[in-house]
Amino acid sequence: MKPCFSVLLAGLIAATFATTVTAMPTGAAPEKGPGAYPMNCAEWKDKARCAALNQKIQACKAKTDDEWRECMYGSVPTAKFTPPTPRDCSKASNKEACEAHASALEACKEKRTRAEHRKCVAGQLRAASLRKN
């Protein structure tokens, strides 16, 4: 009797499938999913900080990506920024540029962060140069 090649191949596939199925775990799926988990505070020197972090982790558990970052860390406090005061343009070599800069500083004095202030002043100066041309 000659064994057919397709019968041997079918037997090999069935054996492979049987060993793969028995190798898979049959227990329940693990409880832990992706994300941060509460820490064991017994090993920490600062127990209060560990407890506070655990509370934040529990409060932010359902959030993901940027929402999670905002929940865990909150908004970053900005450093105090005092806008510069305009110079006296009476002694300036280029009075036109000095006056444009002074008016831009005056228009942007309500901006409270350095980045917002720089962006505002640049926009004011760009608008002034476009008006001039």
Quickly list DSSP for 70-103.
HHHH-PPPPPP--PPPPPPGGG-SSHHHHHHHHH
- Mean pLDDT for 25-30 is 53
pLDDT band of residue 105 (cuts 50, 70, 90) is very high
Quickly count: other Cβ atoms within 10 Å of residue 24's Cβ. Answer: 6
pLDDT at 15: 72
pTM beyond cutoff 0.85: no
Between 55 and 130, the more confident residue is 55
SS3 state of residue 115: helix
